Amino acid sequence: MKYLAIIKKHLSKIFLALILISIAYVSIFRQDIAIHQYNKAVGMYYIYKGDKALKMHELQDAIKYYRTGLEKYPNHYNAWFNLGNIYVLYEDYFAATDAYTRAIELNDKYMLARMNLGIIFAEKIGDFDEAIEQYKKVINTKRRGVHIPLVYNSGKSIKMNKAIAYYNMGHAYRQKAIYLPKEEYTQYREYLKKSAEAYENAIDIYKNDYDTSYNLALVYQLLKDYNKAGKNYCKAIQTDYMSFEAHYNLAVLLKHLKFYKEALEEIEKATLIITSSKTPYSRSLYVLDVLNDISVSAFMQANDEKENEQENISSNQDNQNKEDTKSSINYNEDDVAMGLTNGKIVINDKLNEIINEKLKHCPEELFKDED
C-alpha cells in the first residue's frame, strides 16, 4: 500500500515528463511532424474564426480567415465547402467550383459539395455533362445510415439527397435538350426521355412534390406524350392547387387537344390565382390574353355544335349549351348569397371552401391510360 501511494503521488510528474520527452524527441528528430502539427493548430484557429465570421454574416472577414487557415491546414474540407458557398453569394462561380472540388477531393462522399458543384455547372457555367456526372455520383455513393429511434435517422436525409439529385439531373437533361440545334431532333428527344426518367425516379422517392410533378409534365408535353403530361399536371395541381403554372400549362395542353371547355376552366383558375397574388402586371396581361384566346375557341366550338343540332332541340337545351361555355368558377345562388355583403362577393369560409374545391378539381378522366 505504501508503494502504491508513492506511485500515485508521482504519477502526474511521470506523465508530464513523458510528454516533455516526446516533444523534445519530435522537435529534434522529427521536425516535419512538429511543423505539421503547429501549422494545423494555427490553421484550425483561423478556420474557427472564419466559421464565427460566417455565422455573423461578415463574409469578407470569413473569406480572409478561411484563406489564411487553409494555407496552413489545406485538408479541412468543411472550410473549403463554406468558402465555396460564400463565393456563390458573390457570384464568383469559378472560384466556387474550385473550392467545392477541393472539398470533394478531401472527402469523396461529401454529398452537399457534389450537389452544389452540379448546380453551379448546370445553372451558371452551362456544363451539363459535368453536372450530370456529379448528380450520378451522389446517387451511386453508398453511405451507411445512422438510426437512433425517436432522435435521428440519417437514412431519410440520404434518400432525400438522392431524390434531389434525380430532380436536378432531370433539369440538366432538359436544359441540354433545349440548347441543341433544331436539326438534332433525335438527340433532343433522347435527352428529354432521360430527363423524364430522372424526374420519375425522384417521384418514386419523394411521392408528393409539386415541382417534380410539374416539371415531369412539362417534359412529357415537350415529348408530345399528352396523356402523361396531363396526368402529371393533375398530380401537381392536387399537390399544390394554388400554384398557377400547372393550371396554365394544363389549359394550353387542353386547348391543343381541343378540349376547349376544360381548357377555359383551367385558364380561369390560373387567372383567379394570378389576380389574387402579387404577380407582375405584364404576366397577368399575358395570362388574360390566353384566357381570351381560349374563350374565343370555346365559343366557336359551341357555335359549331349548335349548327349540327336538329331543329327540334328545345330552347332550354340551347341555354344549357351556352352555360357550358362559361367559367367553371361559377357559384349557384345559395353559394353566392353566403358570400354577399352590400352587393359585393366576400370570401367567407363557406365560399372559400367552394373555391378551393373547384381549384383542386382536375379533368384526369380526359387522359387515358396507355395499353
All 3 cell numbers of residue 155? 437514412
Residues 220 and 286 in one domain: no
Residues 174 and 228 in one domain: yes
Amino acid at 319: N
Residues 162 and 213 in one domain: yes
Residues 134 and 178 in one domain: yes
Q: How many domains, the chain?
A: 4
On whether residue 150 sits in a domain, the answer given is no
Shortest CA distance to 348 belongs to which of 356, 359, 357, 339?
Answer: 339
Rounded to a whole number of angstroms, the distance between the first and last alpha carbons of the chain is: 90
pLDDT in tens, 308-366: 554 444 444 444 444 444 434 443 434 433 344 444 444 455 556 767 778 888 888 88
On whether residue 274 sits in a domain, the answer given is yes
- 198 vs 128: CA distance, rounded Å: 14
Residues 180 and 272 in one domain: no
All 3 cell numbers of residue 21? 520527452
Residues 122 and 196 in one domain: yes
pLDDT of residue 321: 46
Residues 215 and 129 in one domain: yes
pLDDT of residue 268: 85
Residues 159 and 128 in one domain: yes
CB-side neighbour CA atoms (13 Å) of 131: 24
DSSP assigned state of 310: -
On whether residue 12 sits in a domain, the answer given is no
State residue 73 phi and psi, 5-degree precision.
Answer: -135, 85
On whether residue 317 sits in a domain, the answer given is no
On whether residue 343 sits in a domain, the answer given is yes
Question: Domain range holding 281?
Answer: 258-307+324-330
Residues 79 and 128 in one domain: no
pLDDT of residue 50: 95
pTM for this entry:
0.74
Residues 229 and 117 in one domain: yes
Residues 62 and 163 in one domain: no
Residues 172 and 216 in one domain: yes
CA dist list (Å): 55 to 82, 91, 92, 191, 348:
11, 19, 20, 41, 44
On whether residue 203 sits in a domain, the answer given is yes
pLDDT of residue 182: 82
pLDDT of residue 144: 63
Q: What is the pLDDT along the chain (371 residues), one digit of tens a residue?
A: 555 555 555 555 655 555 555 555 545 555 566 677 777 888 899 999 999 999 999 999 999 999 999 999 999 999 999 999 999 999 999 999 999 999 999 999 999 999 999 999 999 999 999 999 999 999 998 866 544 554 444 557 788 889 999 999 999 999 999 999 888 999 999 999 999 999 999 999 988 899 999 999 999 999 999 999 999 999 999 999 888 889 989 998 998 898 988 988 888 888 888 777 655 544 544 455 555 555 555 545 555 555 555 444 444 444 444 444 443 444 343 443 334 444 444 445 555 676 777 888 888 888 876 54
- 30 vs 148: CA distance, rounded Å: 43
On whether residue 84 sits in a domain, the answer given is yes
Amino acid at 248: Y
Q: Residue 73, by phi and psi: left (phi above 0), alpha (psi -120 to 50) or beta?
A: beta
What's the CATH number where 51 sits?
Answer: 1.25.40.10
Neighbours of 46 (CB within 10 A): 21
pLDDT of residue 146: 47
On whether residue 237 sits in a domain, the answer given is yes
Characterize 211-240 residue by residue with b for buried, 16 or more Cβ atoms within 10 angstroms of its Cβ, and e for exposed: bbbbbbbbbbbbbebbebbbbbbbbbbbbe
